[in-house]
């Protein structure tokens, strides 16, 4: 461990906990593509630290707000926020143990309980981020309109402005977006984690699901379920338990690719043109 790193870590602990703690050792953690993460070990316990000097000034604060909003529902476990700075977020370290036998089914029921939390409008009372990209949460009465205007079109414009996609694809996407009000079900706003893929799913010392790295808003719950299929589906018992607890409208499986245009466009904007082909496949399927 470098002395410079240790000094920074101890400064974070002092600022967050209002007392001096010596870092005995730390472990660099993998999994994130935006920030650096370490587990800090001290005589008074261990902590999880996410840090990045290049992030937007309020990014970690927005993430902390999202974690606390989800925690207040008591529907699903999340790490406690211990400290926030412009360039860091300090959390309790999740002590992962063996998962309970029905982990995935329990997760499905817990997510359904989270989605039962609603609001008068779609969006949120503040904007936040998905990855390091701005995520506008303009309050909107119609959920499909919110999804089109503040998720799909916002990412499409960013991809066009940065020359990741061309005008021809933008025009095709516009035609697809015009069709969505008849293709997607209109449901009440549901509180969403917002970035629910396997990399953000852990289990705690009790063996139950614990979620990290949210991009919270009130949205269409099918969009959340679709996101879980983005990089390979979760265990089938997760979907069965969710559907038994909070049934989806018929035809959900035919809509998955439409919802996943959002995270796919996010990946275009974060990681480049390697994801444009996936966007074109959806356009060809629904527009021709």
Question: 42: domain CATH number?
Answer: 3.30.200.20
- Say yes or no: 35 and 157 in one domain: no
C-alpha to C-alpha distance for 249 and 222, rounded to whole angstroms: 9
Active site residue 166: no
Residue 16: inside a domain, yes or no?
yes
The domain of 71 spans 3-92
Angle at 202 between CA 201 and CA 205, to 5 degrees: 155
The per-residue pLDDT for 55 is: 85
Confidence of residue 18 (pLDDT cuts 50, 70, 90): very high
Q: Is the pLDDT of residue 97 over 90?
A: no
- Say yes or no: 38 and 19 in one domain: yes
- Say yes or no: 24 and 88 in one domain: yes
Q: For residue 219, list its beta bridge partners.
A: 190
- Say yes or no: 186 and 82 in one domain: no
Residue 97: inside a domain, yes or no?
no
- Say yes or no: 75 and 180 in one domain: no
- Say yes or no: 154 and 243 in one domain: yes
Mean pLDDT of 21-27: 93
Give me the CATH number covering residue 242. Answer: 3.90.1200.10
Q: Is the pLDDT of residue 1 over 50?
A: no
**pLDDT per position as a tens digit, 200-210:** 999 999 999 99
Residue 174: inside a domain, yes or no?
yes
Residue 98: inside a domain, yes or no?
no
**pLDDT per position as a tens digit, 106-147:** 999 999 999 999 999 999 999 999 999 999 999 999 999 999
**pLDDT per position as a tens digit, 54-63:** 889 899 999 9
Given 40, 73, 92, the domain boundary residue is 92
Residue 88: inside a domain, yes or no?
yes
- Say yes or no: 46 and 123 in one domain: no
**pLDDT per position as a tens digit, 208-266:** 999 999 999 999 999 999 999 998 899 999 999 999 999 999 999 999 999 999 999 99
The per-residue pLDDT for 11 is: 95
- Say yes or no: 143 and 229 in one domain: yes
Given 92, 125, 146, the domain boundary residue is 92
**pLDDT per position as a tens digit, 33-87:** 678 999 999 999 999 999 998 889 899 999 999 999 999 999 999 999 999 999 9
Mean pLDDT of 17-40: 87
Confidence of residue 288 (pLDDT cuts 50, 70, 90): confident
- Say yes or no: 85 and 118 in one domain: no
Residue 266: inside a domain, yes or no?
yes
pTM, full prediction: 0.94
- Say yes or no: 135 and 215 in one domain: yes
- Say yes or no: 165 and 30 in one domain: no
Confidence of residue 2 (pLDDT cuts 50, 70, 90): low
**Residue tagged active-site, from 106, 178, 195, 257:** 195
Residue 82: inside a domain, yes or no?
yes
Given 46, 65, 92, the domain boundary residue is 92
Number of domains in the chain: 2
Residue 268: inside a domain, yes or no?
yes
Q: Is the pLDDT of residue 172 over 70?
A: yes
- Say yes or no: 115 and 63 in one domain: no
């Amino acid at each position: 461990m470098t002395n410079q790193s240790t000094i920074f870590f101890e400064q974070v602990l002092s600022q967050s906990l209002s007392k001096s703690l010596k870092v005995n050792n730390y472990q660099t953690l993998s999994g994130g593509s935006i920030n650096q993460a370490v587990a800090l070990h001290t005589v008074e316990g261990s902590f999880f630290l996410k840090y990045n000097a290049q992030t937007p000034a309020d990014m970690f604060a927005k993430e902390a707000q999202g974690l606390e909003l989800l925690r207040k529902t008591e529907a699903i476990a999340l790490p406690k926020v211990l400290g926030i700075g412009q360039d860091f977020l300090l959390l309790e370290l999740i002590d992962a143990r063996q998962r309970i036998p029905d982990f995935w089914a329990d997760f499905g029921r817990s997510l359904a309980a989270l989605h039962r939390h609603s609001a008068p409008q779609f969006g949120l009372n503040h904007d936040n981020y998905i990855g390091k990209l701005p995520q506008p949460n303009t309050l909107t009465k119609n959920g499909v309109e919110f999804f089109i205007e503040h998720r799909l079109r916002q990412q499409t414009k960013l991809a066009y402005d940065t020359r990741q996609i061309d005008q021809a694809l933008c025009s095709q996407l516009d035609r697809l977006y015009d069709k969505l009000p008849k293709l997607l079900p209109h449901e009440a706003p549901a509180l969403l984690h917002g970035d629910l893929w396997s990399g953000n799913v852990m289990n705690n010392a009790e063996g139950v699901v614990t979620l990290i790295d949210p991009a919270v808003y009130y949205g269409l719950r099918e969009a959340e379920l679709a996101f879980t299929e983005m990089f390979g589906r979760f265990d089938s018992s997760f979907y069965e338990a969710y559907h038994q607890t909070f049934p989806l409208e018929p035809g959900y499986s035919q809509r998955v690719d439409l919802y996943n245009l959002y995270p796919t466009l996010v990946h275009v904007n974060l990681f480049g043109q390697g994801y444009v082909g996936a966007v074109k496949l959806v356009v060809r399927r629904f527009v021709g």
